[in-house]
Amino acid sequence: MTDTLTHSGRLPTNPARDSTGQTAVLYRMVMPDHLCPYGLKSKWLLEREGYEVIDHWLTTREETDAFKDRHGVKTTPQTWIGGERIGGYDALRDHFDTSESDGKNYAPVLRLFAVGALMALAISLATGMGIGLRTFEWFISVSMVLLAMQKLSDVESFSTMFLNYDLLARRWVPYGYIYPYAEAAAGILMTAGALVWLSAPIAMIIGGIGAVSVFKAVYIDKRELKCACMGGDSNVPLGAISLTENVMMFGMGLWMAIKALIPLAG
């Protein structure tokens, strides 16, 4: 475990000189009325990577402004490693990221589906129904609600990204604004098993249009786009996961409609 060197009397005046070997120099704001969260994250990240941290606190606005002027930077925190200034927290993360990433990030949607699955299991156990077909239905309906909530956090951004590939939204722009509410409504109703005559058509319509739109954009037009499924600021790529999501939504709507019609046929 590394030590953190917090200097109050003798502060490093040359971070490029002092940041040698496994010693990093960090300047961050620590004031009575403001503790910079990115400074804390930078310190934690450096220590996690095995660095001894010379932790320089900027305790007043005047001291912070003087530091920025002296080093020609606009923000804090700032980190030096190996005699070179790395920059702020995001730059520090990039510095330690040695993976050859293509910018694609499936993790958010995979986490969402994992939570949806756990919630479906929880509902199954809470209702005493055990794990069965209804659990899978709840997994899809709960995931629909969770996905809708991601979109509803910023409907404007979602609708803009949605226009990149959705065929109906391109012909009728308001559909991009309606979609998140329709998805949430269908998911909630399906979770409750209520108003199937309404929820099933909604799921089939938005899921069917979505599946065709994604298939055309990705597999016919060969376009590399981000999926709006996780909201307007998502880095989830449009592709197989997006297509599967829409197919599952369509399939869920079709299945619920068939379930509702079977008793009537009897």
Q: pLDDT tens digits, residue range 231-265?
A: 877 788 888 888 998 999 999 999 999 998 887 65
Parallel/antiparallel/unpaired status of strands 34-35 and 4-6? unpaired
Neighbours of 90 (CB within 10 A): 11
- Take residue 184 and report the two structure tokens written for it: 């949430």
- The amino acid present at 200, given as its one-letter code, is A
Predicted confidence at residue 13, as pLDDT, reads 61
pLDDT at 100 over 60: no
Predicted confidence at residue 103, as pLDDT, reads 58
Mean pLDDT of 69-89: 94
Distance between alpha carbon 10 and the CA centroid of its chain, in Å? 42
Exposed e or buried b per residue across 99-116, where buried means at least 16 C-beta atoms within 10 angstroms of its C-beta: eeeeeeeeeebeebbeeb
Mean pLDDT of 57-83: 94
Contacts of 138 (CB under 8 A, 6+ apart): 119, 120, 123, 124, 191
Mean pLDDT highest for which of 17-21, 100-104, 157-161, 228-232?
A: 157-161
Predicted confidence at residue 2, as pLDDT, reads 43
Predicted confidence at residue 5, as pLDDT, reads 47
Predicted confidence at residue 98, as pLDDT, reads 55
Predicted confidence at residue 260, as pLDDT, reads 87
Angle, nearest 10°, between helix axes 196-215 and 174-192? 130
| Whole-number Å distance between alpha carbons of 137 and 141 | 6
Fold type of domain 4-96? Glutaredoxin (3.40.30)
pLDDT at 89 over 60: yes
- The amino acid present at 133, given as its one-letter code, is L
pLDDT at 29 over 80: yes
pLDDT at 56 over 80: yes
